[in-house]
Amino acid sequence: MKFIPLILTLILFVPAAAQSPPQLDTLRAEGYEALYNLDYDAARKRFQKMIEIAPEHPAGPQCYASSLWLEQLNEASELKATLYSTESYANGKARADRRQVDEFRKWIRQAKQLADARLRKDPKDVDALYYLGAAEGLEAAFAAAVERRFMAALRSGSKSVDHHRDVLKLSPEYRDAELTIGLQNYIIGSLPLAVKMMVATMGVRGSKKRGLETLERVSIEGQNSRDLARVLLVDLYRREKRWDDAIKIARELSAKYPRNYLFKLQMADALGSQIVALRKTKTPSDTPEKELANLFAVLLRDKALDPSTIDLVHFRYGETLLTLAQPDAAAKEFGAVANRTAADADLKGLARQRLEQIRKR
């Protein structure tokens, strides 16, 4: 079931619909740019302004809830290395802060209520349908990653997709609404046959090929969801072993959002996998190895990163070097974490485990 949570969680990034008031669209765009750069305070200032200027519109509350959720995920040390990856949600343990959870619930409840109120007045309100689907996606994400109720989350996520299908019925050229549909297609199409048959009883079917094609279309033709489609494609291309495509998009995202070290870690993961694949085919190349080393060097020199994030970079570099059969170099990176007094206890423990594994080789 590890593929299921990705659609449930990344729906939270779904941006505003095309018919939103221009001022809301501007604030939304600025807010999401800040979110992609991991600047939560700046993002929430934009989203609070949206709430103030349009108190009856669901956009502000839904975006504000998104910022709370993304920050919570990013602060969970288990998720940092692969925030935009399904393994994060399959293996990680979100550490829910009660105050933040209550605030999240407040804003998502308000977004749904506002969307429902607009739909009662006009069932064909595209904006309302879009934001209702986005709010349901956020609820599904919460059920999956915090409450670990994956089937309940799948049902809520399917409601989100259904509402975005309704958006497309009313506005067929609105590509952004295809994003959740394409992602669901890919994920359901990737499930083992037995699980596919089980979710089919809920009326949910999918196709990996069709899902990828839809996401690629959104990444080119979407109005507000292009970057989100690219974020998703990085991880999905890696699953398909399309290393060049994954590296290309991760590089573009890193250049556009230079303060988001997570994109650089995604690129490093893809480069490491590409190097392993090249070695297996006995066609090694110095180019990806040099780029990988330079990428980690840039991250470790980044003065904008706090010490705990630098610890994470050291650890991820060590993991990559182990994969590339360089245990001595890996031990140096793990040691940088294990020997720092103020390092996160959990990460320090993992680093010591890796050092012990290296010694026993």
pLDDT band of residue 73 (cuts 50, 70, 90) is low
Q: How many CA atoms does the CB half-sphere of 2 hold within 13 Å?
A: 9
Q: What DSSP string runs through 197-249?
A: HHHHTTT----HHHHHHHHHHHHHH-SS-HHHHHHHHHHHHHHTT-HHHHHHH
Question: Has residue 149 got a pLDDT over 80?
Answer: no
Asked whether residue 277 is assigned to any structural domain, the reply reads no
Question: Has residue 10 got a pLDDT over 50?
Answer: no
Question: Has residue 17 got a pLDDT over 70?
Answer: no
Cα distances from 226 to residues 174, 175, 301, in angstroms, run 12, 9, 30
- Range(s) of the domain holding residue 20: 1-240
Mean pLDDT value of segment 81-108: 62
Asked whether residue 179 is assigned to any structural domain, the reply reads yes
Asked whether residue 285 is assigned to any structural domain, the reply reads no
Query: pLDDT digit string (tens) for 216-250?
Result: 999 999 887 888 889 889 989 999 999 999 999 99
Mean pLDDT value of segment 29-45: 94
Q: Which amino acid is at 226?
A: R
pLDDT band of residue 95 (cuts 50, 70, 90) is low
Percent of the chain with pLDDT over 70: 81
Per the model's pLDDT, the better-predicted residue between 316 and 198 turns out to be: 316
How far is residue 348's CA from residue 307's CA, in Å, rounded to a whole number? 13
Q: Helix 345-359 vs helix 307-323: angle between axes, to the nearest 10 degrees? A: 30
Query: How much is the pLDDT for 195?
Result: 66
Q: How far is CA 298 from the centre of its chain?
A: 23
Q: The tokens of 76 are what?
A: 């969970």
Asked whether residue 311 is assigned to any structural domain, the reply reads no
Question: Has residue 89 got a pLDDT over 60?
Answer: no
Asked whether residue 329 is assigned to any structural domain, the reply reads no
Q: Residue 19: CB partners within 8 Å, gap ≥ 6? A: 126, 127
Domain total of the chain: 1
Asked whether residue 224 is assigned to any structural domain, the reply reads yes
Q: What DSSP string runs through 36-86?
A: HTT-HHHHHHHHHHHHHH-TT-SHHHHHHHHHHHHHHHHHSTTTGGGTTSH
Asked whether residue 59 is assigned to any structural domain, the reply reads yes
Asked whether residue 73 is assigned to any structural domain, the reply reads yes
Mean pLDDT (the chain) is: 84
pLDDT band of residue 184 (cuts 50, 70, 90) is confident
Secondary structure tally for the chain: helices H, strands E: 18, 0
Query: pLDDT digit string (tens) for 38-52?
Result: 999 999 999 999 999
pLDDT band of residue 268 (cuts 50, 70, 90) is very high
225: how many CB neighbours lie within 10 A of its CB?
24
User: pTM for this one?
Assistant: 0.82
Query: How much is the pLDDT for 54?
Result: 94
Nearest Cα neighbor of 257 from 265, 21, 197 is 265
